Amino acid sequence: MAWIDRYNLMEYYHMHMRPFRALLANLERRGILVATNYLADVEVQARKDRVEHVATFKRWAAGEIGPDGLAMNLASLVQLSTFLFGGGANAKTQECMEAVRVFKTPRADVPDEAMEAYRERDAALKEQKEADAALLDNGEGGESSSEENVPEEDEFDQMKAAELKLLCKEYNLKVSGKKAASTITSP
């Protein structure tokens, strides 16, 4: 594996890393000690601070975009850049970023705090919908609205059959329409 023209990594090690190791050993021998206890304490504090700052950022993001902010993966540059710069233009290419993107996240990766926020949001939306329906029913003299029988639309309604099949395959679901055989044993 060449790193510069005719040299390989072993030559790089002998040229740079071994002398650097010797330099560090000389520094320590001559009195420039590395305070490992102090560094360990600083590391523990840094980890605590990171947890606190991540929670603060997610709470702020949830205030901006709702429960999705609590479920955001802060290690994903794509999610962060969409959240922070979505809809903006790249300064160099003048290409606009997508304002909204949908990220597929396995349920196991969504924090419990985010799931609870989703449940609360859904319950509030359901209550609002029921209140609106009651107002419509009262305003129309008790007649039922024709929208009650219409199912809610979701992102799957907009997908083509090929996209749905691909999504099923991605989650290892059967796409043939045949039911899986199951065996039931009685005691």
pTM to 2 decimals?
Answer: 0.52
d(CA 89, CA 97): 6
- List, for residues 142-168, the tens digit of each pLDDT value: 444 555 566 777 777 777 888 888 888
Q: Are 37 and 87 in contact (CB under 8 A)?
A: no
CA-CA distance, 168 to 175, in Å (whole number)?
Answer: 6
pLDDT tens digit sequence for 103-142: 888 888 888 889 999 999 999 999 999 988 888 877 654 4
Alpha-carbon distances, residue 57 vs 10, 62, 80, 83 (angstroms): 44, 9, 11, 12
Distances, alpha carbon 4 to alpha carbons 9, 13, 19, 99, 119, in Å? 9, 13, 19, 42, 56
